[in-house]
Structure 1
Amino acid sequence: MTLPYKNMRLFFIHGAPATGKFTVARELSLLTETPLVDNHAAIDIAKMVFGFAQPCFWDLVHDLRMTTLRGATKANLPRFITTAAYSHPVDAPLVEDYDSVIKEFGGFIEPVHLYCSEETLMDRVSASERLQKGKIASPKGLKGYLDRNNFVAMPRDNCLSLSTESTTPEETAIAIAQHFEIPIVSTK
């Protein structure tokens, strides 16, 4: 029997919709050969089972996320990346659950907060790939979502906050890798 990796690092990339979380996470994954599971993967599976926002929908999403994370820790992965539109304090229980799973195996969360101006968010939100993935894809929808949520940096001492206003996803990913001393093993 293989014992779980005792120092797994979960890179929890969070921020408002359209800040570039998945795009940056994908770059970080490619540069560092770290597995990535997008927050929307669990949502997509739950949609197949229940349709969006049906009873038990968010319970299934949560269970899928926890099962995936637990599986990653049991597979001895030293690093793992996930994304979330973390809104404080509403999503604090989700992070506590992530913490519980990670700490069970001796690991810890490395939070990364991405942000940019509301004007930039509005410019980015209509990108065709957002609509294809079932994400918020209209300025009006995004404005309402921003008004109802508090997309701030996770309140942790080790949280890295980076602006995606004028940097490329690759530049942001490199900054994350350098800050957390993740070896860059692949170049494009």
Structure 2
Amino acid sequence: MKLIFIHGAPAAGKLTTAKALLAQTGGRLFDNHAAIDIARTVFDFGAPGFWELVQTVRMSVLGAALEQGLPLLVMTFVYADPIDLPTFEQFEAIVKRHGGELLPVFLKCSTEEIVRRVATPDRAARRKLMSETGVRQFLDEHTVSAVPRQNCLVLDSEANSAETNAQAIIRRFDLV
């Protein structure tokens, strides 16, 4: 299995890019908010046990996809360095254990553009971070960056359309 790991700041265009990529390649989507939504049915956001359940769901989904031989899975994630490195390394380990490839893609986007995007109706419907204050606080408190891997493809989601970035991912990781 190829796991395309699309990461970046909140509102950087991860889900939009993932959908554009899947429209051109097939495969399946594992949006990070699916795991978060499951955890919200049991816990308040961030409460004790919340993030542990989110990670358990993520690992279960990845394990099931790998065991069933799914050829392509696109996953979205907000990666903050260094606190999320152990989580990323868990993803790498399970993918490698099953003979798959983890192919990271980082979407960079200016804070100003993120602030402009953060209050969209789609984000409200999905219960995502929506306030300028909230996103600025998140970005001030966390170092959102590309995962520290040489094969990480860095794309500009402000300058390029999701379709253009999807084409770049297809070319770089030979997804045709």
TM-score class, shorter: over 0.9
Show structure 1 runs of 5+ residues with no match: 1-7, 184-188
Superimposed CA distance per residue, residues 92-112 of structure 1 (whole angstroms, 9 cap, x where no aligned partner): 011111011111111121000
Q: 1:131, 1:149 → 2: CA distance?
A: 22
Match of 1:55 in 2: 48
- State the shift of 1:52 in Å: 1.9
Q: 2:172, 2:17 → 1: CA distance?
A: 15
Match of 1:4 in 2: none
Aligned partner letter, 2:71: P
Match of 2:65 in 1: 72
Q: 1:182, 1:120 → 2: CA distance?
A: 29
Greater displacement, 47-56 / 30-39: 47-56
- State the shift of 1:162 in Å: 0.2
Aligned partner letter, 2:5: F
> Which of 81, 105, 111 is equivalent to 2:104?
111
TM-score by length of 2: 0.97
1:40 matched to 2:33: yes
Greater displacement, 168-177 / 143-152: 168-177
Whichever of the two has the greater Rg, that structure is 1
Q: 2:95, 2:172 → 1: CA distance?
A: 21
Alignment of 1:71-150 (within 5 A): 71-150=64-143
- State the shift of 1:138 in Å: 1.1
Moved >4 Å (runs of 4+): none
Show structure 2 runs of 5+ residues with no match: none
Contact preservation (8 Å) 1:14, 1:111: yes
Contact preservation (8 Å) 1:28, 1:34: no
Aligned partner letter, 2:46: A
Higher strand proportion (structure 1 or 2): 2
Alignment of 1:168-183 (within 5 A): 168-183=161-176
Aligned partner letter, 2:125: Q
Give percent identity, aligned residues only.
43
Q: 1:34, 1:113 → 2: CA distance?
A: 19
TM-score by length of 1: 0.91
Q: 1:96, 1:77 → 2: CA distance?
A: 20
Secondary structure of the residue aligned to 2:149 is: coil
Secondary structure of the residue aligned to 1:18 is: coil
**Pairs aligned (count):** 176
